[in-house]
Amino acid sequence: MEHEESNRSEFLVFPLSQVRKEGYKVTRKAPPSATDWSRRATRTQRGILDGSLGHYKGKAVPKGGCSAFAAQTLMKGTKPHRIRIEGMSITHDASATPDGIIDTVLSVMRYSTAVKSDSDERVKGVKGKWSSCMRKAGFQYASPQAAANDSRWSKGNVPTRLETSVAVADMQCKKKVRYLDTLVDVQSEYERNAIAEQSATLASLQSDAKVWLSNAKDEVNKQPATKRD
């Protein structure tokens, strides 16, 4: 059952209480950054990390930098291979990081299922119902994306009364036609199919992840203990 205060940004569904105040500005909020290291790092630090700096204080920087060296150390004992998903090829080689490989595979799977879901007749049907609901509210939009990306909303940081009115009608119509329920059901169906189709790939990555974790623990255990007072 869809709740009035649903917050599913991937489907452009936000709480009514939020869009009443922020309109579609809520869709452009940047996620919090995990670290600000990239902003504070010096050119030398970046060079050591990515390998663009060949030497540092008389010592050779590993080929590909410390990032590649760490990835190769963590991935010791697993074989590079090429993963194909829906015609897209993902290279799993010595320069790839373990988390990067897994994130890329999952991102490609999510993208391919989202594309299929968007072309599904059930999704097209509920978008048509949403558009009809919006017309009755006095707004002409072919899709929720068209409403959220209306060029008028990009002017200024404070939403206009029109923007908040459209955003509120948008959320109300989505709730009325069970938009979120339909999209979640359809996309979940495609995701289950994708998981079944890529079961061998996912099993391989799961097996590799155990090796990578073991390698990480071994490296941590090799580090000298920190002296305490």
pLDDT of residue 89: 74
Work out the average pLDDT over 146-171.
95
Question: Contact, 47 vs 62, CB < 8 A?
Answer: no
Every domain of the chain and the residues it spans: 37-74, 79-218
Q: Tell whether the model's pLDDT for residue 145 goes beyond 60.
A: yes
Quickly count: other Cβ atoms within 10 Å of residue 53's Cβ. Answer: 15
* Residue 228 pLDDT > 80: no
What one-character-per-residue DSSP string does 29-79 give?
Answer: PPPPPS--HHHH--HHHHHHHHS-S-EETTEEPPTTHHHHHHHHHHTTTS-
DSSP labels for 108-176? HHHHHHHHHHHHSHHHHHHHHHHHHHHHHTT---SSHHHHHT-GGGGSSSS--HHHHHHHHHHHHHHHH
Q: Which residue has the higher pLDDT, 35 or 164?
A: 164
Task: Flag whether the pTM goes above 0.85.
Answer: no
Q: What is the pLDDT of residue 206?
A: 87
Q: Which residue type is seen at 209?
A: A
pLDDT of 133: 98
CA distance 61 to 1: 56
Q: What is the pLDDT of residues 17-67, one digit of tens each?
A: 999 999 999 887 655 554 566 778 889 988 888 888 889 998 999 888 888
Contacts of 106 (CB under 8 A, 6+ apart): none
Cα angle value 156/9/107 (rounded, 5°) = 115
* Least confident interval from 10-24, 88-102, 191-205: 88-102
Q: If 0-12 CB within 10 Å is exposed, 13-18 middle and 19+ buried, where does residue 209 land?
A: middle
